[in-house]
Amino acid sequence: MGGVLAASPPPPAAGSSASPGLTVPPGFGMPSVSTVVPPAESPLPNPGAFDECHRRCKEVFPLQMEGVRVVVNKGLSNHFQVNHSVLLSTTGDSSYRFGATFVGSKQTGPAEFFPVMVGDMDNSGSLNAQIIHQVTSRVRSKLAFQTQQQKFVNWQGDAEFRGEDFTATVTLGNPDVLAGSGIVVAHYLQSVTPALALGGELVYHRRPGEEGSVTSLVGRYTGSNYVATVTLGSAGAHASYYHKANDQLQVGVEFEASARMQDTSVSFGYQLDVPKANLVFKGSVDSNWVVGATLEKKLLPLPLSLLLCSFLNHQKNKVQCGFGITVG
């Protein structure tokens, strides 16, 4: 069944307030979660969205891509941005995607504008669309649709309520009233101390003739320059540790154990920023004997960005390389 899409809003909202030409492509560079620790007398801070718990550690790891990818971003106005991307793939089909992003004018924060509508369509007619809107000052809701050619594969809606020191989210996935099937996911995250946040997740899925539920607990501890998160559930365990060594080096360690597939894996990743050379390098080593690295370099003075990626699986002796160019 289609998984729940990421709940965090895409960043064009961050770029649209800065300049008329939107330069941040959707999907790149999530807005960072603020982990500022306030003094003890003030009330507990809002812990942020539930899905952001493991996000900081995951961002350190390189993304695997293969083939050649060319992305052209063009900002048409303060509110509207368009992107074309061509993917020439070595293993699957090559494709062309056209995407558009619209950002509204209701401003809620320093760089957040709502509503945000993001959509992109494939050359075979598959559509991905997301609409994110801040309904009231505390409630943010999102609708997402995904189709495979003309058939709807994923449709979901969620509502997130941010209280003083807690966040509650309810997501309804693929509801089908006629067939009586659907998935309901409820998240709750509470700040217990300024550094510690605890929460839980409940997934209830139902199909005609079958229903089940999965629960899991989440704990996140934020230190001065590190974040440690643990998720324990009936479907497995997931622990991640993120450490910021200095301005240039960030390190992440991740441990995953799955009860269904009866296997565990440990991965170690690092990210090296060299702003003088306009370089961002991410590398990772895995317990499945997979070694991978991504190099992203801005080719100034042109607004070009080059992305080189290679993943090597020592066990199967297979290599996957890819490179991409982003214009604009």
Question: Could you list the residues that contact other proteins (CB under 8 A)?
Answer: 272, 274, 276-277, 279, 281, 283, 285, 291-293, 295, 297, 308, 310, 312, 314
Q: Judged by CB, which is closer to other proteins: 106, or 314?
A: 314
Rounded to the nearest whole angstrom, what is the least distance from the CB of residue 313 to other proteins in the complex?
11
The answer for residues whose C-beta is within 8 angstroms of residue 308's C-beta and 6 or more apart is 294, 295, 296, 297, 321, 322, 323
Q: Judged by CB, which is closer to other proteins: 217, or 279?
A: 279
Rounded to the nearest whole angstrom, what is the least distance from the CB of residue 272 to other proteins in the complex?
6
Q: Judged by CB, which is closer to other proteins: 41, or 247?
A: 247
Rounded to the nearest whole angstrom, what is the least distance from the CB of residue 47 to other proteins in the complex?
34
Rounded to the nearest whole angstrom, what is the least distance from the CB of residue 288 to other proteins in the complex?
13
Task: Output the CA torsion sign for 73, 76, 32, 3.
Answer: negative
- In the 3-class helix/strand/coil scheme, how is 225-246 assigned residue by residue? CEEEEEEEECCEEEEEEEEECC
Rounded to the nearest whole angstrom, what is the least distance from the CB of residue 237 to other proteins in the complex?
27
Pairing relationship of beta strands 181-191 and 249-258 according to DSSP bridges: unpaired
Q: Judged by CB, which is closer to other proteins: 44, or 308?
A: 308
Which residue, 139, 148, 135, 119, is CA-closest to 12? 119
Q: Judged by CB, which is closer to other proteins: 113, or 281?
A: 281
DSSP states of 236-278 as a string?
EEEEEEEEE-SSSEEEEEEEEEETTTTEEEEEEEEEEEEGGGT
Q: Judged by CB, which is closer to other proteins: 138, or 314?
A: 314
Q: Is 236 left (phi over 0), alpha (psi -120 to 50) or beta?
A: left
Rounded to the nearest whole angstrom, what is the least distance from the CB of residue 296 to other proteins in the complex?
11
Q: Which two tokens stand for residue 112?
A: 């957040």
Rounded to the nearest whole angstrom, what is the least distance from the CB of residue 265 to other proteins in the complex?
17
Q: Which residue has the tokens 């497995």?
A: 236
Q: For residue 51, give the 3-state DSSP assignment.
A: helix
d(CA 20, CA 242): 35
Rounded to the nearest whole angstrom, what is the least distance from the CB of residue 243 to other proteins in the complex?
18
Q: Judged by CB, which is closer to other proteins: 134, or 305?
A: 305
- Residues 216/201, Cβ–Cβ less than 8 Å: yes
- Residues 118/13, Cβ–Cβ less than 8 Å: no
Q: Judged by CB, which is closer to other proteins: 133, or 297?
A: 297
